[in-house]
Amino acid sequence: MIQFTPPVTEPDSNSLKSSAEQSVHRRRALEASRGERASIDWLMDRHLPGLLLYVRLNAGHALRTRESSMDLVQSACREVLKDIDSAVELSEAHFKCWLYAAAERKIKDRARFHAREKRAAGREISFEDCMSKADADLAWRGCASFITPSHAADAREELARLEASFRQLSKDHRDVILQSRIFGYSHAEIAARCGRTEGAVRVLLHRALARLARLTSAAGSADAQQ
């Protein structure tokens, strides 16, 4: 799992939200700190798809057979909302970093808990049990920045193929996709974090996305032939 730390600068101009959007996000955070339900819902609706997808891709199969991905997400959101006053002056990029860092802590904490407990395999639950269609649809929305969704009737099928394909990628490919498409880091930020040039990051990201698309497409074709 990537050590999740906030970017030291804002994303570059290609990925940076407009000043108006940044102002809206800060206003919504301020209103949420006052307990305004509409703004809390707005923040969650904006960030929940990517956050749920991040948890699905990083929790690992062992943890996901014991914990609902949505429960982990909701726990992270509750933690952030308890301290929402601290987010009033944050940009959207830094708010997102804060939220995802909370999710990362939840994943690690629950993984350690289950490692200690060594729960019996008979108490495990399946993917279908812990991921409702509505939650799968929500997570699938988080894929929009790096994969073209198909018109499958059940997003759970698509999400399962994406997760399986993602696990087949190299660590470098997984990391660059997460940092660029999920966390929202710029090429410059990624380059600084991993010791590469911006050009090398662009090439790495292009290859990673292309391989993920090929794997996912191949998995879909194989399923259609069964």
Which residue ranges form the domains of the chain, and what is each CATH number?
A: 13-146 (no CATH), 169-226 (1.10.10.10)
Give the relative orientation of helices 198-225 and 155-168 as an angle to the nearest 10 degrees.
Answer: 130
Residues of the chain with pLDDT under 70: 1-18, 118-131, 148-154, 221-226
Q: What's the confidence (pLDDT) of residue 22?
A: 81
CA separation for the pair 226, 214 (Å, rounded): 19
Residue 81 vs residues 69, 90, 159: alpha-carbon distances, Å: 18, 14, 28
Q: What's the confidence (pLDDT) of residue 149?
A: 58
The pTM for the full model equals 0.76
Residue with tokens 């600068």: 9
CA separation for the pair 93, 101 (Å, rounded): 12
Q: What's the confidence (pLDDT) of residue 133?
A: 77
CA separation for the pair 17, 21 (Å, rounded): 6
Structural tokens at position 170: 């190299």
